[in-house]
Amino acid sequence: MFEHRQLPLLAAAGGLAGAVLRAMQLATGFEPMTGLYIQGGLWGRLLAVLLVGLGLLCVFFARRGQHNASFETLFGSSSDLYKTILAFSGLLLAAGGAAWLPIELEAVQAFPEDTSPWILALEIPFGLLCVAAGLCLVGLGATLARGAVTARSAKLVLPPLFWAAFQLLVVYRQYCVSANLALFTLEIFASIACVMAFYHFARMLYGRPAPRQFTFWAALGVMLSLSDVLGYCFSLALGNVAVRWTLGALVRGGCLMMGCVFLLTELWLVTGRVFPAVAGSTAAHGADGAEEPESGGAAEEA
């Protein structure tokens, strides 16, 4: 069962290991009075080494993926567990977007007037996209469970991509003037990985399929998100007093986690269907192992 699922297992285990190191970094690597990072901290260095090493392993495992199946065959399942996970992750993402809007609209009143338009231009669309993306994930789960993607339902892959892009923009806009790089770097990289994962997920339907890229970015996004969000939660249990997220940051982190639950679920499915092809005959892929996917997607028919 687990023979070809090294990537999702690596992403989950690596994310938990990264969360422990991140928790130690947050609990001990910042000055309690100022919240500034203490240079030369052991836990921060160990975290960086771990994530770089796991990232290289993700490259190694992802490069072996091949496929010659349709989008529905790769990402769909009629399992009740599959439908439940996707439905709950989508609904919680939508709920996070609904909670984000009043929280940030109240918080923006404390900012100077010259910065408010920029904040509103990003944060209101972000909240609305959270709701739209969450509902689309629910719809995608139902569509893929039926095993038939139409030209209309193919559009459901786009709002999650736009949400992930706005997630990155909001994170960057909130931290771009901060000199405390160790505090937010992990969230920036996690957001970048999620953008790339949802881009390649949509690409599997709308453009030339690239399962290797999807599996790599999805695994990396899951690992980095778990390290950051769970790491903060673990740090509170360790007595962290120097680093405290705002309520908006907690909601944003929860939304990122729900997106990664969807990615991890699809990663689990696709690795079980893509990677076994490597051990088989090369006739379906060409003598040099190049990918020759079937189009099979409803988007191309449109």
| CA–CA separation, 237 and 232 (whole Å) | 9
At 227, is the pLDDT very low, low, confident or very high (cuts 50, 70, 90)?
A: very high
**3-class secondary structure per residue, the chain:** CCCCCHHHHHHHHHHHHHHHHHHHHHHHCECCCCCCECCCCHHHHHHHHHHHHHHHHHHHHHCCCCCCCCHHHHHCCCCHHHHHHHHHHHHHHHHHHHHHHHHHHHHHHHCCCCCHHHHHHHHHHHHHHHHHHHHHHHHHHHHHHHCCCCCCHHHHHHHHHHHHHHHHHHHHHHHCCCCCHHHHHHHHHHHHHHHHHHHHHHHHHHCCCCHHHHHHHHHHHHHHHHHHHHHHHHHHHCCCCCCCCCHHHHHHHHHHHHHHHHHHHHHHHHHHHHCHHHHCCHHHCCCCCCCCCCCCCHHHHC
- 140, pLDDT greater than 70: yes
What is the Cα 76 distance to its own chain's centre? 19
| CA–CA separation, 282 and 291 (whole Å) | 10
pLDDT digits (tens, 9 = 90+) for 144-193: 888 888 888 889 999 999 999 999 998 888 787 777 888 889 999 999 99
pLDDT digits (tens, 9 = 90+) for 34-92: 777 887 788 989 999 999 999 999 998 888 766 666 788 888 888 889 989 999 999 99
The mean pLDDT of the chain is 82
Taking residue 94's Cβ as centre, other Cβ atoms within 10 Å add up to 21
Of 103 and 137, which is predicted with more confidence? Answer: 137
- 135, pLDDT greater than 90: yes
- 282, pLDDT greater than 60: no
CB-based contacts of 204: which residues, under 8 Å, 6+ apart?
71, 74, 75, 210, 211, 214, 297
Stretch 212-238: mean pLDDT: 93
- 295, pLDDT greater than 70: no
- 299, pLDDT greater than 50: no
Tell me which range, 99-103, 194-198, 234-238, is most confidently predicted by mean pLDDT: 194-198
Of 138 and 120, which is predicted with more confidence? Answer: 138
What's the pLDDT at 291? Answer: 40
Of the listed ranges 103-107, 108-112, 152-156, 220-224, the least confidently predicted one is 108-112
With a pLDDT cut of 70, the percent of the chain lying above it is 83
What's the pLDDT at 276? Answer: 60
